[in-house]
Structure 1
Amino acid sequence: MNPTVLLSTAVAVASAAYAFKPKKKTELEAKSVAVPAPKSYLPLQLDTVVAYIYDMLMGKDELEMLLKDMKQYGNTINFKGLNNDFIVVTDPSSIQHILAKNQPNYEKGPYFKGIFHDFLGSGIFNADGDTWKAQRQIARPHFQTSEFKDAALINKHVDQLLVVIDKHIASKPDAPLEVQNLYCRFTLDEASEFLFGATVDALKNEQTEFSTAFNYAQSLTAWRFRIPYWKYILPRRKLMTEIKKLDDFVYKIIDDARERQAARAQEKTKDENEENSRHDNLLDHFLSQQNEEGFDNKYLRDMLLNFLLAGRDTTASLLSWTTWKLVQHPKVMEKLHQEILQVIGPDRVPGYDDIKKLKYQKQVINEVLRLCPPVPINPRESVEEDVLPNGYYVPAGVAVAYCVYATHRLPELWGEDALEFDPDRWGPERVGKIRPFMFVPFHAGPRICLGQNLAYTTAQLALTRLLQRYDIKASPGFEPQQLGDIVMFSRNGVEVLISHKRPQSEI
């Protein structure tokens, strides 16, 4: 993708497509305050649009760019482009208003759904109204059961993660290890088994067809948010080729699950407990809940890929940034290791009940989620015109995004040390100062993340076993390049030096 061609095409298409349209203010708008907007000096805000796209192509950090703009324009900003509004809010009262108090007025909306439709179809994260409610209602019991609480499935994939790390140490003991890619493969395997009942085996084979296609689909979809008139500019043929690879894999999984279901229906002797024990993945759970009309394969495909996107990337992001923060703060890592030794021991494989006793570890993870939220910005679209609690006017049918990355870093909320990594702010003496909607890494309100408990459990089990087994240190000279995509990753990965811990008897 040539940056010059892409940029010039975007500008040409945008310039040709738009014209000025005078608009009469509504009564509510006349009584409200317009959201501040960065200054623009060209028609259709072409200068700001071009500057933004250029900065993205050059690899600049758009989240830090947002923080810089906030210092000038405040905590609510309208990033106008081509006469379209894109309002970003960061204050907790506005986030609460959007996610809870007036939640029906802020939907995913047709623009958001259009961007994601090729990839995610009409799945739960790309749906509104009755479609969203029905999928969430069916999925919720699977995430609320104790199926994953014995940690067997998670530990199974952690075992494979450790095998890959051991091989690296054996073959390249002095070379840094890029763990972000490793965590993505680990969580892809774990999430695919939890959802499908079949693992992708990404840890065993780094470049599986499924994982490569999944990464490409996500990357190109993220660019659709950034490029005006993306339908006419960004390539779709390649995207659809990669999505077909995802479909081929998922549809086979669905066909196999239907065959299993049919075979069970023919069994003569089967008690209720045995039947319930077999619903050990989300796909089987959905099939067991379907009505007489059933779910078609496209419905199931969309549902599975939606949950896979959330389940894989968010937990991989959390593990990646936790590892980075720990190597930057070795005293925190040592305190965390000592807690693990006291509660679990140097080598015992922990279970679900064990990690719930790791209070300091939970503080560390919450502090990582504060500074490095896996989903840094989340867009909605207003159904009707509205006024935010801070008095700013929101027109009907415009994009309104809440940016938790910025909210989690506001000094007026978190203190003058808001940018510092300090797990003690989550300790019993200070945690009471954290008010509702100050901390929303898993969102809030009716659409709060169903899988947050699973994410915490996966991250804590993996982190516990990594610190039991390895010494992890910073790789000299390495700095991650933050990428505010759909999920927040590092553009250049996360490199660390890793080695086996010495046995306790030798220390």
Structure 2
Amino acid sequence: MKVKRMLQQALRVSVRNAFPLVKWMERWSEGAAAVSPPGCSRQAVRTLDDMPGPTVSSFVWDLFAKKGLTRLHELQVDGLHRYGPMWKASFGPILTVHVADPALIEQVLRQEGQHPMRSNISSWKDYRKLRGYHCGLLTSEGKEWQAVRSLLGKHMLRPKAVEVYDKTLNSVVTDLITKLRLRRNSQGLVTDVASEFYRFGLEGISSVLFDSRIGCLDAVVPKETERFIQSINTMFVMTLLTMVMPSWMHQLFPKPWNTFCQCWDYMFDFAKGHIDQRLAEEAQKVARGEKVEGRYLTYFLSQTGMPMKTVYSNVTELLLAGVDTISSTLSWSLYELSRHPEVQAAVREEVLTVLGGRRVPEAADVACMPLLKNTVKEVLRLYPVIPANARVVPDKDIQVGGYLIPKNTLITLCQFATSRDPAVFSNPNDFYPYRWFNKDRSHHPYASIPFGVGKRSCIGRRIAELELYLALSRILIEFNVKPDPEGVSVKPKTRTLLVPENAISLQFIEQ
């Protein structure tokens, strides 16, 4: 009866959204019947032996020959079409269960336990063991992870705590606007905007972590900063290679592993240098009897009593956490807005109305800009920075979609597939921010979760969102953004994270 009532309610929503809801409810009812509570009529619980999926040879063919590592997000969509909402795939000794249905993703996340585990980024941990470094928030697990997460959550997840950084971030946005003006050619074209937005993202998170600038947006970027940027890019490329290569292959083919380690070496040294410099400045103030009220995150961490090795690791990992989110999301946002001028005009009008004559928004203004926020939300649905998340439940077997999944099984949550599924979103490949205004919520809440959900959700979400909102609103106040006259459509690719496959170039015309 419950399913029937929910289907009846679905028919009352708008025509634009009714079809995906009905299709999703069909899937939901099938899954619910498979995992109904004890005492109710239920199907027999199936094992992994019963789960569909490609053979080892066909999976390797799809992975390397047919699609390639840069098309991993497309393999999710293929898997959903071929095998349904759950399938298994083996690569070497690693068996992975793929889940590509919002309701089933919710089932996984609600059973993840007190200390949720993501997939083991083995090469990242191997590097830290090799060098004797501690793990940071992205690589630690269990109680160690929980302790750091609780400390950082006080300063990074509470909206009021994040609002104090708006002046700092607006200063970085001002430099970005200046840099865009300098980069334009005679037609107002800026080539490869993602490279500038990458530097903007790094400068923004650095200002929050260190309360100092590292020169990413200077006319001439300092050599050490430029090398740090290149190290991050190369490290992410090498991550895919080093994770699919067994450790014994590092001796036979040492170049990928050696390059990977060299990148991390420089990244740790870079972060450590800035941390030590800022803490030394604070110590000098204390020695002079001056009152110290640091508002930057490294200061908060240093005051907790945690070992400095742990501080170094966490700050280094936090430097990476938000940069691609900012660069990719800002690039895709302006890419889509340039191709949908009516939406761009509406967002600009909303921003100007809220500001009422001011030119620089504050954090509090964003709450009154729903179309701006929904534009970012829609971009993150189409281009989730993390196209697939993962979980490992270490202490118990769990049931998902009628299957018994043994503990310690790697489960991949196929977020790109769910956010592009026509059974979940109508016209899923269309950029349509207004879909998020539908109060009937015709899609499942776990259909698009670009920042994750629960304890393992992105720790830097609030800061990244604030930086995006401030940058987008300021850019739209200053410029009318148009597509590259000679440009072609740009598709995403997987580079551990989801990034533009080709350079995005845009015209920035003065308002």
8 Å CA contact 2:242, 2:256 repeated in 1: no
SS in 1 for 2:448: coil
Q: Distance in 2 between matches of 1:219 and 1:481?
A: 18
- 2:117 pairs with 1:107: yes
Asked if 1:67 is matched to 2:77, the reply is yes
Match of 2:307 in 1: 295
Which amino acid is 2:355 matched to? I
Pick one of 95, 102, 106 that aligns with 1:92: 102
Query: Residues 175 and 319 from structure 1, CA distance in 2 versus in 1: closer, same or farther, beyond 3 angstroms?
Result: closer
Look up the match of 1:419.
Answer: 429
Residues 381 and 400, structure 1, Cα contact 8 Å, conserved in 2 = yes
* Structure 1 pair 346–467 and aligned structure 2 pair: CA distance change class (3 A): farther
How far 1:95 sits from its partner (Å)?
A: 2.1
Alignment of 1:478-497 (within 5 A): 478-497=488-507
- Aligned counterparts of 1:253 and 1:375: Cα–Cα separation in 2: 28
Alignment partner of 1:255 is 2:276? yes
CA 1:340–1:33: 2 relative to 1, 3 Å: same
Aligned counterparts of 2:283 and 2:399: Cα–Cα separation in 1: 52
**Secondary structure in 2 matching 1:85:** strand
Q: CA deviation at 1:216?
A: 1.4
**2:27 matched residue in structure 1:** none
Equivalent residues of 2:112, 2:391 under 8 A apart:
no
Report how many residues are paired.
453
Counterparts of 1:464 and 1:430, CA distance in 2: 25
Q: What amino acid maps onto 2:459 in structure 1?
A: L
| Aligned-partner residue type, residue 299 of structure 2 | D
Q: Distance in 2 between matches of 1:282 and 1:471?
A: 35
The answer to whether structure 1 residue 124 and structure 2 residue 137 are counterparts is yes
Find the aligned partners of 2:231 and 2:472 in 1 and give their Cα distance.
28
Residue 384 of structure 1: how far off its partner (Å): 4.6
Measured in 2, the distance between the counterparts of 1:431 and 1:126 equals: 38
- 2:242 maps to which residue? 224
- Check whether the contact 1:46–1:82 (CA below 8 A) recurs between aligned residues: no
> Shift of residue 282 of structure 1?
0.9
Q: Does 1:311 align with 2:322?
A: yes
- CA separation of 1:447/1:39 partners in 2, compared to 1, >3 Å: closer, same or farther? closer
Q: Which residue in 1 is equivalent to 2:202?
A: 188
Q: How does 1:107-506 map to 2 (within 5 A)?
A: 107-108=117-118, 111-118=120-127, 122-143=135-156, 144=158, 145-146=160-161, 148-149=163-164, 151-169=166-184, 171-173=185-187, 175-204=189-218, 205=220, 208-227=226-245, 231=250, 233=253, 235-268=256-289, 270=291, 275=292, 278-290=293-305, 294-296=306-308, 298-345=309-356, 348-384=359-395, 386-414=397-425, 416-427=426-437, 429-430=438-439, 432-475=441-484, 476-501=486-511
Task: Give the CA deviation at 1:374.
Answer: 1.4
Aligned AA (2:59): T
Deviates more, 1:463-472 or 1:191-200: 191-200
2:242/2:257 contact within 8 Å kept: no
Q: 1:347 Cα deviation (Å)?
A: 6.1
Report the secondary structure of 2:335's partner residue. Answer: helix
Structure-2 change in CA distance of 1:402 and 1:425 (3 Å): same
CA distance in 2, matches of 1:367, 1:126: 29
Q: In structure 2, what is the Cα distance between the partners aligned to 1:346 and 1:500?
A: 17
Amino acid at match of 1:199: R
Q: Which runs of 5+ in 1 are unaligned?
A: 1-29, 502-507
Q: CA deviation at 1:194?
A: 0.7
Per the normalisation by structure 2, the TM-score is 0.81
SS in 2 for 1:183: helix
Structure 2: distance between partners of 1:222 and 1:177: 28
Deviation of the 1:373 alpha carbon: 1.3
State the secondary structure of the residue aligned to 1:388: strand
Equivalent residue for 2:24?
Answer: none
Cα separation, 2, equivalents of 1:477 and 1:264? 53
**Residue 187 of structure 2: SS of its match in structure 1?**
coil
Partners of 2:408 and 2:250 lie apart in 1 by 20
Which whole-Å CA distance do the structure 2 matches of 1:481 and 1:91 have between them?
23
1:32, CA displacement in angstroms? Answer: 2.0
CA–CA separation in structure 1 for the residues paired with 2:116 and 2:272: 33
Aligned partner letter, 1:309: L
Per-residue CA deviation, residues 383-431 of structure 1 (Å, 9 max, x unaligned), is 25624331123233332111211122223332x323322111111x435
Task: Indicate if the aligned counterparts of 1:370 and 1:408 stay in contact, CA closer than 8 A.
Answer: yes
**Equivalents in 1 of 2:137, 2:462: separation in Å?**
18
SS of match in other structure, 1:356: helix
Cα distance change, pair 356–88 in 1 and its aligned pair in 2 (3 A): same
TM-score when normalising by structure 1: 0.82
Larger relative contact order (CA 8 Å, sep ≥ 6): 2
Name the amino acid aligned to 2:456.
Answer: R
Larger deviation: 480-489 or 345-354?
345-354
**Deviation at residue 107 of structure 1 after TM alignment:** 1.7
Q: Distance in 1 between matches of 2:387 and 2:448?
A: 12
- Deviation of 1:72 after TM superposition, in Å, equals 1.3
Paired with 1:446 and 1:307, the residues of 2 have a C-alpha distance of 17
Measured against aligned partners, the alpha-carbon deviations of 1:197-238 in whole angstroms (never above 9, x if no partner) come to 333312224561211112212221133344566645462222
Aligned CA distance change for structure 1 residues 196 and 218 (closer, same or farther; 3 Å): farther
CA distance 1:431–1:178, change in 2 (3 Å): farther
Q: 1:249 to 1:473 in 2, by over 3 A?
A: same
AA in 2 matched with 1:477: G
Q: CA RMSD in A?
A: 2.6
Q: Is the 8 A contact 1:200 1:210 kept in 2?
A: no
Question: Matched residues in 1 for 2:80 and 2:371: separation?
Answer: 33
Q: Does structure 2 conserve the Cα–Cα contact (< 8 Å) formed by 1:53 and 1:227?
A: no
The correspondence of residues 50-65 of structure 1 with structure 2, limited to 5 A, is: 50-55=61-66, 57=68, 61-65=71-75
Cα distance in 1 between the residues matched to 2:353 and 2:330:
22
Q: 1:349 to 1:488 in 2, by over 3 A?
A: same
More deviation in 69-78 or 142-151? 142-151
Q: Mean alpha-carbon deviation: is it higher for 340-349 or for 222-231?
A: 222-231
